[in-house]
């Protein structure tokens, strides 16, 4: 076995230099919605994983990633997974949900937040959003709790914390489990405490669009020790292979249900390079966010659009920048106006309660008006770590000319 424990930082890779050259050429023409960021040591770490001859999961780089994620979320433990979607599916398995159990989710979220529970036969119960942060409206949660409710899922939209004090208090009062879908929120905090540390379990995403990425990846963050041992088993196809590798059992076997949620060392190596560069990545993203906020504040006030609201007790991780237009026609027109200038902006979630699948769970139009308005009127502007001031000026000037 090679020693990948102390990664060698000296290796320079032509491929990364070329990627930067290509990025430079491309950036003078089209402004994409997202451009993957290469922190610098990804290829070197992957090479070390190859030299170490351990390419399946749970090697040196996976363990390093687990520890970095654990520390960044101030949690008890973290397990790297193949996606945030899979971490959410693991939560549903860990809760041993039964058909017709209910899980309260925001309607304004990604499909996986609800689908992971539907996959186990549970019923997602859709909650509307708060008008300020677009997070789950904590004031509406009590009216959705029934004797079948098992859990509340807090999705920290754009990495701005949900009202965790209220949500935790409601969960305690009714004996419910709190789960966090923290796909956007790595390094965000609520009242000084890191997002990902509030729920019994939290799910992280390392998809290409996230602040820290390995293309496709995620993590299950564990804050309740009851779930730790079983999480390892579910992630390893229902076997106790993790215990076997630690030498605590002399052979491994099938002990529970499970699936294959463990990413390869190659992905873990890429991710470690990104997580280690967290300070630099976050300071670059903060600059991008602040330039948008400074450049667009007056335009928003003039045109009746709103900018993201970050309450004083939340600190955000600069995951995305969006504006909410006064109506859906203006939103569509702005996206087209930007596209005509080779700038790719995007809308966000089509509210789940009104989707064909959401309607099968009893959702109907008009049920979550704040989520419906956000789904119709919100535009996400291009936002990526290495976005240059020149690129951003082009986007800001184009919006001002709308
Ligand atoms: C709130 C939320 N949850 C979950 C996911 C799914 O993440 P992944 O692609 O890592 O499965 C996303 C995707 O962007 C998301 O926005």
Q: What is the pLDDT of residues 288-307, one digit of tens each?
A: 999 999 999 999 999 999 99
pLDDT tens, position by position, 163-186: 999 999 999 999 999 999 999 999
pTM of the model: 0.93
Q: Is the pLDDT of residue 398 over 60?
A: yes
Task: Report the alpha-carbon distance of residue 112 to residue 123 in Å, rounded.
Answer: 13
Q: Is the pLDDT of residue 75 over 90?
A: yes
SS3 content of the chain, % helix, strand, coil (to 5): 45, 15, 40
314: left (phi > 0), else alpha (psi -120 to 50), else beta?
Answer: beta
- The pLDDT value given to residue 25: 56
Asked if 139 contacts 104 with a C-beta cutoff of 8 angstroms, the reply is: no
Q: Is the pLDDT of residue 11 over 90?
A: no
- The pLDDT value given to residue 5: 47
- The pLDDT value given to residue 18: 63
How much distance in Å is there from the Cα of 86 to the middle of ligand 1? 10
- From atom 8 of ligand 1, which residue's Cα is the shortest distance away? 84
Report whether residue 207 contacts ligand 1, using a CB cutoff of 6 Å: yes
pLDDT tens, position by position, 302-327: 999 999 999 999 999 999 999 999 99
Let me know how long the chain is. Answer: 402
Report whether residue 322 contacts ligand 1, using a CB cutoff of 6 Å: no
How much distance in Å is there from the Cα of 273 to the middle of ligand 1? 21
Which whole number is the average pLDDT over 251-261?
96
Cβ neighbours of residue 312 closer than 8 Å, sequence gap 6 or more: none
Q: Is the pLDDT of residue 362 over 70?
A: yes
DSSP string, 133-160: T-SB-GGGHHHH--TTEEEEEEE-GGGP
Report whether residue 205 contacts ligand 1, using a CB cutoff of 6 Å: yes
- From atom 15 of ligand 1, which residue's Cα is the shortest distance away? 110
Percent of the residues in the chain that have a pLDDT greater than 70, as a whole number: 93
Q: Is the pLDDT of residue 21 over 80?
A: no
How much distance in Å is there from the Cα of 85 to the middle of ligand 1? 6
For residue 120, the number of C-alpha atoms closer than 13 Å in the C-beta half-sphere is 25
Task: Report the alpha-carbon distance of residue 125 to residue 140 in Å, rounded.
Answer: 12
Q: Which ligand 1 atom is the nearest neighbour of the CA of 155? A: 1
For residues 201-210, one letter each, b for 16 or more C-beta atoms within 10 angstroms of the residue's C-beta and e for the rest, the string is bbbbbbbebb
Q: Which of 81, 186, 207, 215 to mutate to test the pocket of ligand 1 (most atoms within 8 A of CB)?
A: 207
Q: Which ligand 1 atom is the nearest neighbour of the CA of 207? A: 10
Q: Is 16 exposed, middle or buried (0-12, 13-18, 19+ CB in 10 A)?
A: middle
How much distance in Å is there from the Cα of 402 to the middle of ligand 1? 31
Q: Which ligand 1 atom is the nearest neighbour of the CA of 210? A: 14
Q: Is the pLDDT of residue 43 over 60?
A: yes
Per-residue 3-state assignment (H helix, E strand, C coil) for 226-270: HHHHHHHHHHECCECHHHHHHCCCCCCCECCCCCECCCCHHHHHH
Classify residue 124 by its DSSP letter. E
- The pLDDT value given to residue 29: 80
- The pLDDT value given to residue 27: 52
3-class SS of residue 319: coil
Closest by alpha carbon to 109, among 162, 174, 67, 42? 162
Task: Report the alpha-carbon distance of residue 113 to residue 136 in Å, rounded.
Answer: 12
**Tokens of residue 211, six digits:** 């602040």
Q: Is the pLDDT of residue 15 over 80?
A: no
Residue found under tokens 């209220």: 166
Report whether residue 182 contacts ligand 1, using a CB cutoff of 6 Å: no
How much distance in Å is there from the Cα of 352 to the middle of ligand 1? 14
Report whether residue 112 contacts ligand 1, using a CB cutoff of 6 Å: yes
Asked if 134 contacts 111 with a C-beta cutoff of 8 angstroms, the reply is: no
- The pLDDT value given to residue 4: 43
Work out the mean pLDDT of the chain and round it to a whole number: 94
How much distance in Å is there from the Cα of 269 to the middle of ligand 1? 21
Asked if 280 contacts 385 with a C-beta cutoff of 8 angstroms, the reply is: no
Task: Report the alpha-carbon distance of residue 140 to residue 218 in Å, rounded.
Answer: 30
* Banded pLDDT at 1 (limits 50, 70, 90): very low
């Amino acid at each position: 076995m090679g020693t990948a424990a102390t990664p060698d930082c000296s290796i320079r890779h032509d491929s990364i230099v070329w990627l930067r050259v290509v990025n430079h050429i491309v950036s003078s023409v089209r402004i994409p919605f997202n451009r993957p960021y290469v922190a610098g040591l990804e290829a070197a770490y992957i090479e070390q994983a190859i030299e170490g001859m351990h390419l399946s999961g749970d090697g040196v780089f996976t363990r390093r990633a687990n520890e970095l994620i654990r520390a960044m979320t101030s949690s008890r433990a973290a397990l790297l997974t193949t996606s945030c979607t899979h971490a959410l599916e693991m939560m549903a398995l860990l809760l041993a949900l039964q058909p017709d159990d209910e899980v309260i989710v925001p309607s304004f979220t990604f499909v996986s937040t609800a689908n992971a529970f539907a996959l186990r036969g549970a019923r997602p119960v859709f909650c509307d959003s708060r008008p300020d942060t677009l997070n789950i409206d904590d004031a509406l949660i009590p009216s959705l709790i029934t004797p079948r409710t098992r859990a509340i899922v807090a999705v920290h939209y754009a990495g701005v914390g949900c009202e965790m004090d209220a949500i935790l208090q409601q969960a305690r009062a009714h004996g419910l489990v709190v789960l966090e879908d923290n796909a956007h929120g790595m390094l965000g905090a609520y009242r000084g405490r890191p997002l990902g540390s509030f729920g019994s379990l939290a799910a992280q995403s390392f998809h290409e669009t996230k602040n820290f990425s390995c293309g496709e990846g995620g993590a299950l963050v564990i804050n309740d020790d009851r779930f730790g041992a079983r999480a390892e088993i579910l992630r390893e196809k229902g076997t106790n292979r993790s215990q076997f590798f630690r030498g605590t059992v002399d052979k491994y076997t099938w002990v529970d249900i499970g699936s294959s949620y463990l990413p390869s060392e190659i992905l873990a190596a890429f991710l470690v390079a990104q997580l280690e560069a967290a300070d630099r990545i976050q300071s670059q993203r903060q600059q991008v966010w602040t330039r948008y906020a400074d450049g667009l504040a007056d335009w928003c006030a003039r045109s009746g659009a709103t900018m993201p609201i970050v309450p004083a007790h939340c600190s955000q991780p600069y995951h995305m920048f969006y504006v909410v237009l006064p109506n859906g026609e203006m939103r569509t027109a702005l996206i087209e106006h930007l596209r005509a200038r080779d700038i790719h902006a995007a809308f966000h979630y089509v509210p789940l309660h009104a989707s064909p699948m959401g309607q099968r769970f009893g959702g109907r139009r008009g049920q979550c008006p704040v989520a419906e308005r956000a789904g119709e009127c919100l535009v996400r502007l291009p936002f990526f770590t290495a976005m240059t001031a020149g690129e951003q000026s082009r986007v800001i000037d184009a919006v001002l000319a709308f």
